[in-house]
Amino acid sequence: MSETIRRPGDTEGNRLDPWFGSYAARARNLRASEIRALFSVVSRPEVVSLAGGMPNLKDLPIAELAESAKQLILHHGAVAMQYGSGQGWEVLRERITEVMAYDGIVGADPDDVVVTTGSQQALDYVAELFIDPGDVVLAESPSYVGALGVFRARQADVVHVDMDQDGLIPEALEATIRGLKSRGRRVKFLYTIPNFHNPAGVTLSESRRALITRICLREGVLIVEDNPYGLLGFHSDPLPALASYCPEGVVYLGSFSKMFAPGFRIGWAYAPHAIRDKLVLASESAILSPSMVGQMAIAQYLSEYDWYGQVKQFRGMYQERCEAMLDALGEYMPDCRWTIPDGGFYTWVTLPEGLDAKSMLPRAVRGQVAYVSGTAFYYDGRGTDHMRLSFCYPTPEEIREGVRRLASVVNAEKEL
């Protein structure tokens, strides 16, 4: 029984895994994200983590949620504990269209909504439907590490498009699409995070929204609009979603993870009919149906609880934390640059010339502070002079202390 299993394709270097030769080629593209690799370090109590993007749930009404989950299973257990539709529970899809109205998507048909296990799964379905190995996907420069991981797993060729304080730059988008086309490359879709960008912290201006949808429509490029932070603006309700300009050209991804909580793992895709049909097939193939109990709990939360009041409370909490971070950056790290977020969880910091956030990270952790190196958010190794700082989880005092520690690491680095 102890005999080592040998398979064709085994090589000396991977003798520890007897199944190495059996993996599909694409499995080689699965990688731990730089953020996951940091998890064990940042959970040490002495480290101030400005790394993770975990929502802060300290003010959630846990006792009320527990009671309503109990009532749900007691009174509707036969449905809640059963399989459901692959597209998602109709009642929740109806509620989701009401949530999307806050993003300017008014009158959406619940039949065009597909419920997923977080918007992360919706991203995976989109990738499955559209990406063949070598296909071009456009993404902001930088972009969400979890999306880049999905695209990498599907062997996409991600081309980054420049952004500034007002988000993705339309002229850069147009030039990139045209340049790719002139080289015979077909762009499958633009992946974009218009609101409170992860990691850049910026928001796409209203005038650019119209322009970008027009460019993509004209060039035949589908837009995948990822909007998990949209309701978490500090000063106002969200700007209209790209999908509100052009529903036929956009797959919109939403999530309850940040406006409520990620624990039920419920998100959604809102898509043109034909794409919606394929997303449902992808869902049935991957999971048969999303969790009924999770969907019902969220539908209940949306109809029985002042969920929008909760969103406003979250906004105030995150705004206070963001201000603590920006103040501390101004005080302790004046020779860095950073974006000024109008909502969400992140700011994007540019280090002084010549510093490398990736190689500095072990020294920062020794100095008891953690961040995510900018390289995690690029497909092509760029971003060494950047870092993403999150202000969502630590208290304002911890944030201040974290930035103070970070500043001493950066200052020591300049002396090296």
Q: Which residue has the tokens 């202390």?
A: 401
Distances (CA, A) of 324 to 128, 176, 229, 233, 263: 41, 37, 20, 16, 27
Residues in the chain: 416
Nearest to 309 by CA among 49, 59, 6: 59
DSSP E strand stretches across 227-286: 250-255, 267-270
Q: Which residue has the tokens 């959604």?
A: 268
Contacts with ligand PMP: how many residues (CB under 6 A)?
A: 14
Q: Rank residues 84 and 118 by Cβ distance to ligand PMP and give the closer one.
A: 118
Q: For ligand PMP, what does the binding mask look like between residues 44 and 83, x meaning CB under 6 A?
A: ---------x------------------------------
Per the rule left: phi > 0, alpha: psi between -120 and 50, beta: everything else, 411 is alpha
Q: Is 390 in the site for ligand PMP (CB under 6 A)?
A: no
We find the least distance from the C-beta atom of residue 80 to ligand PMP, in angstroms, to be 21
Helix (H, G, I), strand (E, B) or coil at 164: strand
We find the least distance from the C-beta atom of residue 119 to ligand PMP, in angstroms, to be 4
Q: Give the integer Cα–Cα distance in Å for 150 and 127.
A: 7
Which of 255, 283, 291, 373: binder of ligand PMP (CB under 6 A)? 255
- Strand 222-226 vs strand 386-390: parallel, antiparallel, or unpaired? unpaired
Q: Which residue has the tokens 């070598």?
A: 134
Q: Is 141 in the site for ligand PMP (CB under 6 A)?
A: no
Q: Give the integer Cα–Cα distance in Å for 196 and 227.
A: 9
Which residues, including other chains, have CB under 8 Å from residue 130's CB and lie 6 or more apart? Answer: 188, 189, 222
Ranges within 354-383 binding ligand PMP (CB under 6 A): none
Q: Which residue has the tokens 């501390």?
A: 328
Q: Is 225 in the site for ligand PMP (CB under 6 A)?
A: no
We find the least distance from the C-beta atom of residue 29 to ligand PMP, in angstroms, to be 19
Q: Are 273 and 248 in contact (CB under 8 A)?
A: no
Q: Rank residues 144 and 252 by Cβ distance to ligand PMP and give the closer one.
A: 144
We find the least distance from the C-beta atom of residue 193 to ligand PMP, in angstroms, to be 5
Ranges within 331-350 binding ligand PMP (CB under 6 A): none
We find the least distance from the C-beta atom of residue 70 to ligand PMP, in angstroms, to be 24
Q: Give the integer Cα–Cα distance in Å for 260 and 238.
A: 16
Q: Is 119 in the site for ligand PMP (CB under 6 A)?
A: yes
Report the first-to-last Cα separation within the chain, whole angstroms. Answer: 55
Q: Is 140 in the site for ligand PMP (CB under 6 A)?
A: no
Q: Give the integer Cα–Cα distance in Å for 113 and 119.
A: 12
Q: Rank residues 123 and 333 by Cβ distance to ligand PMP and give the closer one.
A: 123
Ranges within 266-325 binding ligand PMP (CB under 6 A): 267
Which of 49, 244, 257, 300: binder of ligand PMP (CB under 6 A)? 257
Q: Rank residues 169 and 193 by Cβ distance to ligand PMP and give the closer one.
A: 193
We find the least distance from the C-beta atom of residue 218 to ligand PMP, in angstroms, to be 26
Residue range at the interface with ligand PMP (CB under 6 A); choices 73-81, 117-125, 169-177, 364-372: 117-125
Q: Which residue is nearest to ligand PMP (CB)?
A: 118
We find the least distance from the C-beta atom of residue 383 to ligand PMP, in angstroms, to be 16
Tell me which residues touch ligand PMP (CB under 6 A).
53, 118-120, 144, 146, 193, 198, 226, 228, 255, 257, 262, 267
